[in-house]
A = this chain, B = another copy of it.
């Protein structure tokens, strides 16, 4: 059963806007290469799992370090990637805890070349609010058709 079932409690419009704004800034940071800023979107004990990786990345430092290495490899491809999150469903668990499920696509543009869809995924986050700021405590990204 997905989070679209009757048992889920959608967040308020206020929180919905906050989450979209957070996702936008979080992934803009990644696409600009601001890995530290991107990683600050995870809690200190945050976990980032992908179904195409054997092990989740555990803890903000490890998440930052692993992504930094990933971006270094990507730099050799000479492309600009853009991560879009969309179609976000929400489930308010308590005042400062929200589960989301969403789609994420990545567009890729080679320098001097043409944009295309790089990949399509679904995401499932456990978000917590800390000092007024939403952060990811657990993220699972599932690549389509894997």
Give the distance to chain B from A132, nearest Cβ to Cβ, in Å: 10
Residues of B contacting A24 in the complex (Cβ-Cβ under 8 angstroms): 4, 86-89, 101-102
Contact for A21 among B90, B111, B116, B122, CB less than 8 A: B90
CA distance A27 to B88 in the complex (A): 11
Number of chain A interface residues as a range: 35 or more
Contact for A79 among B4, B115, B119, B145, CB less than 8 A: B145
Stoichiometry, copies per complex: 3
Contact for A10 among B21, B34, B109, B146, CB less than 8 A: B21
Contact flag A25-B13 (CB < 8 Å), given A144-B80, A145-B109: no
Contact flag A13-B17 (CB < 8 Å), given A27-B87, A103-B84, A115-B105: yes
B17–A3 touching, CB < 8 Å: no
Residues of B contacting A144 in the complex (Cβ-Cβ under 8 angstroms): 80, 82, 107, 109, 115
A34–B2 touching, CB < 8 Å: yes
Residues of B contacting A89 in the complex (Cβ-Cβ under 8 angstroms): 21, 24-25, 28
Residues of B contacting A101 in the complex (Cβ-Cβ under 8 angstroms): 24, 28
In this assembly, does A23 line the interface, its C-beta being within 8 Å of a C-beta of chain B?
yes
Give the distance to chain B from A23, nearest Cβ to Cβ, in Å: 7
Closest to A79 in B: B145
Give the distance to chain B from A54, nearest Cβ to Cβ, in Å: 18
